[in-house]
Structure 1
Amino acid sequence: MATSLDIYVEHFGLTERPFSLVPDPAFLFWSEHHRRAFAMLEYGIVTRAPVTLITGEVGAGKTTILFKLLATLGDDVRVGLITNSHGDRGELLRWVLMALDQPAPVEASYVDLFSRFQAHLIAEYAQGRRVILIFDEAQNLSRESLEEIRMFTNINANKDELVQLVLVGQPELRDLIRRPDMIQLAQRVAASFHLPAMDGPTVQGYIRHRLEVAGAQEPIFSEGAIDLVHEASKGVPRLVNQLCDLAMVYAFTKDQRHVSRATVEDVLNDGVFFAGGQTVTIPPRARAVGETTTSRGEA
């Protein structure tokens, strides 16, 4: 049985849904800033930087770039991806060991866990492999956990690093690492980049790129619709995806083959676009006096 989303894809002559919220490297749009972020990630890996730092607003595309990088790594690299970084330093070590497919017994002490971790790094090094630990949403790490991470970089073999760290998080992560009491960790950050929100022309290129990847044979969004999407989403890719997806659903229900500015206005007026908890106001030229759309919630 066909779902409404299946019908919406068919309605616009597409092969798949172009604005899914799930990160998909196949849809990665290489804006200038995304190219720089990827280059800095790659630079950090190739030069064996002790710590590489990538930050950006929620939904800026950090995770998509990260997955793109992971797809390029060879068999000489072992990657541990840690997305749950809460707890004390012992719990952090457990998450790290599990990410590397290593046992982390509940009854094991911190010393035992660290010994297991160090032994694993040495064993991988002896086999000609290096280990990369990636901490996603690293802004949630406590000061104690960040200090523990710094200690990981002290496990060296001659001039070679046995482990490299990649910290990925929201803008406050940069502020956290720049604190005076974190200077030893900051000094180990050899590569870093901050992903800003997209400007108007970049949003236009982003929307058209995703539509083309999804099989669009002609422009679907009008210039006015794209302008309003940019204003309402503030250029955050995840919010652009959310608003564009809703606008296409609305156009489908109206049996329209194109998305106009008026259709995007309808989405905003109905309050179905949550905008990551931000307040959305339709620009004066596109609404009657006193008509305001306010959306609250989490994206």
Structure 2
Amino acid sequence: MYLQHFGMRSMPFALTPNTEFFFGLPPHVEALQVLQVALQTGEGFIKVTGEVGTGKTLICRKLLNELSEQFVCAWLPNPYLTPAELRAAVAQELGILLESVRDQQHLTGLIQQQLLTLSAQGKQIVLVLDEAQALPDDSLEALRLFTNLETEQRKLVQVVLFGQPELDQRLAQERFRQLRQRITFSYQLRPLRSAEVGAYLRHRLAVSGYQGAPLFSAAAVKKLAKSSRGIPRLINILAHKALLLSYGAGLATVTNKQLQAAVADTEDASPLASLRWLWAGSLLLLLVAAATYFKGVFW
């Protein structure tokens, strides 16, 4: 696409969480520090919440990559599971063969035995759930019961919940008061500030191999921060589109026109001004950029 035009090795603003692009911004570093300290306690639930696109999955993957051999981690990226499916998923993550399972009681016994075996080996078992707001109510209760498994010295499993603010709203209900009392550490991710957005852009461009003059001016960064509301996913979308449009126009930097067109072409972005008139133009610019790209590929 625009990689050769701007002298990059890889896409700087892809949406797939990639720990290679992890940048030590304050909210993300603070979240990791809370998680690391909490895991050392060996007990209870740990909760990290944040708006859609604020980087929860990236932090989750960063945490998983950095856990020492002391920890055995069961990761459930899609927790929309019934209690039976949840137990089966945990069992699989712990290396239990499901073919021999007779019923749910037998499965629970196998999970407890495996947890005891791992604990005897000096391991700490951590169950990590991404998108935890999707857990059905009965599965949340089943999850709480997992943490009842313990020896005389400590709990056999810790649970880390990553979720959207809806998770906090659900846990505030009276029926979840027992689970809520077991949350020993929690952290709420905030959006990035304008200065952090600029540092974020520069970091990702550098990791992608870009070495030229700034592609986004200070004014462009400020506008991008405002229109994205500091949400990293929206920053990535807008920056990618702005670069694509600049490439299609044959420019070496992102101008205000390209940034405004990118905002107008992104549904969840906050308008910088009255940008409805730019809608057709932004789509046209995208088509021009795509046509320029395919012309370079095929001719």
With normalisation by structure 2, the TM-score equals: 0.87
Q: Which runs of 5+ in 1 are unaligned?
A: none
Whether the 8 Å contact between 2:261 and 2:279 is mirrored in structure 1 is no
Map 1:265-276 onto structure 2 (within 5 A): 265-269=260-264, 271=265, 273-274=266-267
Q: Distance in 1 between matches of 2:261 and 2:181?
A: 50
3-state DSSP of counterpart to 2:52: coil
Cα separation, partners in 2 of 1:73 and 1:279, compared to 1, 3 Å: closer
Q: Which residue of 2 aligns with 1:9?
A: 3
Q: Alignment partner for residue 21 of structure 2, among 10, 21, 27?
A: 27
Map 1:43-82 onto structure 2 (within 5 A): 43-82=37-76
Q: Distance in 2 between matches of 1:160 and 1:50?
A: 10
1:161-208 CA distances to partner (integer Å, 9 max, x unpaired)?
211100111011112112222111111111110101222222122111
1:71-116 CA distances to partner (integer Å, 9 max, x unpaired)?
2212221111112323431121011112223223497321011111
Q: Which amino acid aligns with 2:119?
A: Y
1:148 paired with 2:142, answer yes
Q: Alignment partner for residue 232 of structure 1, among 218, 227, 230?
A: 227
3-state DSSP of counterpart to 1:156: coil
Whether the 8 Å contact between 1:77 and 1:132 is mirrored in structure 2 is yes
Q: Distance in 2 between matches of 1:10 and 1:117?
A: 52
3-state DSSP of counterpart to 2:259: helix
Q: Distance in 2 between matches of 1:103 and 1:158?
A: 28
Q: Alignment partner for residue 211 of structure 1, among 199, 205, 211?
A: 205
Whether the 8 Å contact between 1:199 and 1:235 is mirrored in structure 2 is yes
Q: Which amino acid aligns with 1:229?
A: L
Map 1:213-292 onto structure 2 (within 5 A): 213-217=207-211, 218-269=213-264, 271=265, 273-274=266-267, 278=268, 280-283=270-273, 291=277
1:105-148 CA distances to partner (integer Å, 9 max, x unpaired)?
49732101111111110111122212111011100112211111
Whether the 8 Å contact between 1:85 and 1:95 is mirrored in structure 2 is no
Q: Which residue of 2 aligns with 1:130?
A: 124
Once the two structures are TM-superposed, the CA of residue 282 in structure 1 deviates from its matched residue by 3.0
Q: Distance in 1 between matches of 2:59 and 2:80?
A: 24
Q: Alignment partner for residue 176 of structure 1, among 157, 160, 170?
A: 170
Q: Distance in 2 between matches of 1:200 and 1:170?
A: 23
Q: Distance in 2 between matches of 1:215 and 1:91?
A: 43
Q: Distance in 2 between matches of 1:279 and 1:77?
A: 40
Q: Which runs of 5+ in 2 are unaligned?
A: 283-299
Whether the 8 Å contact between 1:49 and 1:191 is mirrored in structure 2 is no
Once the two structures are TM-superposed, the CA of residue 292 in structure 1 deviates from its matched residue by 6.6
3-state DSSP of counterpart to 1:164: strand
Query: Structure 1 stretches (4+) deviating beyond 3 angstroms?
Result: 105-108, 290-295
Q: Distance in 1 between matches of 2:269 and 2:252?
A: 29
Q: Which amino acid aligns with 1:260?
A: T
Q: Which amino acid aligns with 1:26?
A: E
Cα separation, partners in 2 of 1:202 and 1:16, compared to 1, 3 Å: same
Higher helix share: 2
Aligned residue pair count: 280
Q: Alignment partner for residue 37 of structure 1, among 1, 20, 31?
A: 31
Q: Which amino acid aligns with 1:156?
A: E
Q: Which amino acid aligns with 1:242?
A: I
3-state DSSP of counterpart to 2:88: helix
Q: Distance in 1 between matches of 2:60 and 2:13?
A: 19
Whether the 8 Å contact between 1:282 and 1:292 is mirrored in structure 2 is no
Once the two structures are TM-superposed, the CA of residue 293 in structure 1 deviates from its matched residue by 5.0
Cα separation, partners in 2 of 1:86 and 1:253, compared to 1, 3 Å: same
Q: Which amino acid aligns with 1:250?
A: L
Whether the 8 Å contact between 2:5 and 2:247 is mirrored in structure 1 is yes
Q: Which amino acid aligns with 1:18?
A: P
